[in-house]
């Protein structure tokens, strides 16, 4: 990770959520872990969105490999609130690092499907390899 992203610093470190930020790359790496209670999940989403806006973040690696699927209610809430907040952000690319769990993959896809009702400025792709996700994020094209 460090060889691809310089100056990565922890911004927030909770049992269920860790955010690292690289100022020089306008990049954040969000790690989501475990079964996150609704209140904490929503607070982490709002924190993340506000951080993205305040710091002109352009690239995100969203690591869901250790996260349990959020409830349907939380999926809808995340989609609606994050899309509203991020529609005017400077985001360019979001790489989703997915777990092998099919239910978790469907939950994340459901969030993106609902959020797509609001036009977002970024492209997102799903990956199972962190190296492939980083390679795509830091490539100059969207291929």
Range of the domain at 122: 8-137
| Structural domain contains residue 130 | yes
| Structural domain contains residue 142 | no
| Structural domain contains residue 1 | no
| Structural domain contains residue 93 | yes
- Please determine, for residue 111, whether its predicted confidence score (pLDDT) is greater than 80: no
What is the CATH classification number for the domain harbouring 30?
Answer: 3.30.750.24
Q: 13-64, pLDDT tens digit by residue? A: 999 999 999 988 999 999 999 999 999 999 999 999 999 999 999 999 999 9
| Structural domain contains residue 69 | yes
Give the total number of structural domains in the chain.
1
Q: How far is CA 55 from CA 12, 79, 82, 99, 127, in A?
A: 14, 21, 16, 28, 25
The reported pLDDT for the residue numbered 4 is 54
pTM of the model: 0.85
The reported pLDDT for the residue numbered 132 is 95
């Amino acid at each position: 990770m460090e060889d691809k992203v310089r100056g990565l610093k922890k911004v927030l470190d909770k049992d269920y959520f860790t955010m690292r930020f690289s100022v020089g790359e306008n990049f954040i790496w969000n790690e989501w872990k475990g079964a996150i209670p609704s209140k904490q999940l929503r607070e982490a989403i709002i924190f993340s969105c506000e951080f993205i806006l305040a710091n002109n973040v352009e690239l995100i690696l969203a690591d869901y490999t250790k996260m349990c699927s959020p409830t349907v209610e939380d999926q809808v809430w995340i989609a609606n609130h994050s899309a509203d907040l991020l529609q005017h952000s400077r985001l360019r690319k979001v790489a989703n690092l997915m777990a092998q769990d099919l239910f978790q993959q469907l939950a994340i896809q459901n969030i993106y499907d609902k959020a797509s009702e609001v036009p977002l400025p970024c492209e997102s792709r799903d990956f199972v390899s962190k190296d492939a996700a980083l390679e795509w994020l830091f490539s100059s094209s969207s291929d």
